[in-house]
Structure 1
């Protein structure tokens, strides 16, 4: 039997391959689509994002998290959750279908009615795979998930590009997602050795529901309020502004969300196995936090400095208004992993009640931030995200301290040296870019990237950052 460390390392390699492989393909597809389509067309999809994300939160419910956390799962557990997800997805689709005209009226965009009615079919398609994917996650079989995900993204992406070339406009974005979901669902049924049996255990449903409904409610609240910015921008500004914001948000999420979620897929089942050893959980958690910030902080700040040439070379001049949005979001992106992993502690410890209460507190802060930020336009809304993210982190960290004795201030002190070096390197990049700003975009990007890597790694070695050794320990030693 492989030990926890070897399982985690192996799982980490494949979940990174899945997360970044699929996102790299998606990113390449988005580059082609961004060149072929207008910001307004992306803005239309952005306007319905909140409803898609709400549905996704319901289907990727806390019931599947309960399956991962529980160490004594049987066939009827899986079947029960499967039929719940399937039934919920059908109900959810019809709610979305009949609500579509109301959504279109809210934004005063009639085309949103058929868009919502077609796009939301993805709910039912995805419900067929939730349990199969959960089983693979429990088994830490991320290799198989990678093999499933990448072809799905490629086929869906090719479909979207072909339709965009042939003048389908915003519909190419919808069919891109639907085809991806269909191909993915088919493959999960082919590769998974689990098939649902005709049984539904009410008693076990209550067990999983009692654990999971708080996570589901928390996720729902998070998804709704995370898309509050899109709702507000779509209502008070133009579809193009929504397009610029969603493009900036997508660019920010490429490194931040993917690195965080890739690690979360491995660390949540790993943390669950050591949930009763608080000292060990704290040790492993602290190491994960420091490793993530070691990578995320310099990367996000560097991207912010080089945002203008990056956007121009990838998406063309028409997307440059998204640059200041992206630069501000890069700052809030650094705190995103801290939110996710602190929240994981509550779930691992079974304190979903705290998780739910803190989610509500965060969203109250978010609403206050939106109200204040709106007074200063779209950029004011962006800066409100940064402030809310920082304040929320300290509130969550207060409760994390009670769970594993690792407070927000202790976490800040641990990551402060890496943040300081990252800011210094970004400042050096900024002045270097000012000096060579007459050069081509490629030269600016390559020069800035090379300088930041050399400076950051060099200073990390000079200051003897322990995290460098932690990364080295992940590399398997050669057998003699």
Structure 2
């Protein structure tokens, strides 16, 4: 403790000796307005997210009960795992990169395309795997047997996470290039849709109705894509379409194997063979640049961590 304190004092004295300045208070209304113009909507977005998610959870507890909330919590947790893991890591690289390149539209466009592709490339197949293998997994893992009624909800939440992979990237882009007010408008839209749709479906169809409503609302992510593309004309088909096509091939492959049930060995085979199928189609669509892009982005993530 004393060493840290001494280091701080010595550092302060040394900096002042090298470059002295007059100590005092200053105020700039122009700087304050600039900071508030970005910071205020950005912080309000956090409040809106709480109103949209956490407050809704309290309301749903009254409608579908604790059991229903438990099923939804399990489905949401697993569906959001790949999104949270990959998104959190990639965002550390993407946000400052987008901000730094905002005045160079061509480089920003390429950066958005690579980031979006990388996220979709990693997230989509995991979501497909969760969706197709979940019914078998809950049967062979004893502690997951009680979650069988939540499998349908898991499908809807996985669908939502697939859309969120794209929409979160778009809001991240909008914030990074200073269009936080557009993100604010999107948050207001999602808040309104959530409170309009979810309670009604919860009353009529229970917890599965809630999950279905989440899936419906996720389709509004198209608005975020349209907003972002007006500012940065990135290639959506190349960034999202190709991972989506490869994931569709993976889904078909696992669908044809759905009747081949068994223990951990069978599931391991499905995962391994599914990964090979997915990588094959991805390489077929992207070519050698796939390996180069993955290596580049992975290197950036490791540097940030």
TM-score, normalisation: structure 2: 0.80
Q: 1:285 to 1:463 in 2, by over 3 A?
A: closer
Q: Matched residues in 2 for 1:372 and 1:348: separation?
A: 36
Aligned to 2:153: 325
Question: RMSD value over aligned CA atoms?
Answer: 2.9
Aligned to 1:431: 256
- Quote the offset at 1:395 in angstroms: 0.9
Aligned to 2:167: 339
For 1:304-349, what per-residue CA distance to the aligned partner results, in whole angstroms no more than 9, with x for missing partners? 1111343452733223322222222111111112111211222222
What secondary structure is seen at the aligned counterpart in 2 of 1:350?
Answer: coil
Q: 1:314 to 1:194 in 2, by over 3 A?
A: farther
Q: 1:353 to 1:325 in 2, by over 3 A?
A: same
1:386 aligns with 2:211: no
- Tell me if structure 1 keeps the 8 A contact 2:283–2:290: no
What secondary structure is seen at the aligned counterpart in 2 of 1:463?
Answer: helix
For 1:356-388, what per-residue CA distance to the aligned partner results, in whole angstroms no more than 9, with x for missing partners? 122112222222331453323221221221221
Q: Matched residues in 2 for 1:234 and 1:417: separation?
A: 40
Structure 1, 234-243 or 283-292: larger mean CA deviation: 234-243
Q: 1:207 to 1:472 in 2, by over 3 A?
A: closer
Matching residue within 241, 258, 267 for 1:416: 241
Q: List aligned pairs for 1:150-229, cutoff 5 A.
A: 203=28, 207-227=34-54, 229=56
What secondary structure is seen at the aligned counterpart in 1 of 2:72?
Answer: helix
For 1:45-101, what per-residue CA distance to the aligned partner results, in whole angstroms no more than 9, with x for missing partners? xxxxxxxxxxxxxxxxxxxxxxxxxxxxxxxxxxxxxxxxxxxxxxxxxxxxxxxxx
What secondary structure is seen at the aligned counterpart in 2 of 1:433?
Answer: coil
What secondary structure is seen at the aligned counterpart in 2 of 1:237?
Answer: helix
Aligned to 1:74: none
Aligned to 1:273: 100
What secondary structure is seen at the aligned counterpart in 1 of 2:219?
Answer: helix
- Tell me if structure 1 keeps the 8 A contact 2:249–2:281: no
Q: Matched residues in 2 for 1:329 and 1:475: separation?
A: 27
Matching residue within 438, 446, 451 for 2:268: 446
Matching residue within 300, 309, 319 for 2:127: 300
For 1:268-313, what per-residue CA distance to the aligned partner results, in whole angstroms no more than 9, with x for missing partners? 1222222221221111011110111111111101111111343452
Q: 1:237 to 1:207 in 2, by over 3 A?
A: same
- The aligned length equals 277
Higher radius of gyration, 1 or 2: 2
TM-score, normalisation: structure 1: 0.53
- Tell me if structure 2 keeps the 8 A contact 1:290–1:467: no
Aligned to 1:471: 294
- Tell me if structure 2 keeps the 8 A contact 1:282–1:405: yes
Q: 1:269 to 1:328 in 2, by over 3 A?
A: same
- Tell me if structure 2 keeps the 8 A contact 1:429–1:451: no
Q: Matched residues in 1 for 2:188 and 2:80: separation?
A: 23
Q: Matched residues in 2 for 1:475 and 1:344: separation?
A: 19
For 1:419-470, what per-residue CA distance to the aligned partner results, in whole angstroms no more than 9, with x for missing partners? 1221221122122131x22x22x12321220121011112222334543441
Q: 1:377 to 1:454 in 2, by over 3 A?
A: same
Q: Matched residues in 2 for 1:420 and 1:349: separation?
A: 30
What secondary structure is seen at the aligned counterpart in 2 of 1:275?
Answer: coil
Query: Relative CO higher for 1 or 2, CA cutoff 8 Å, sep ≥ 6?
Result: 2
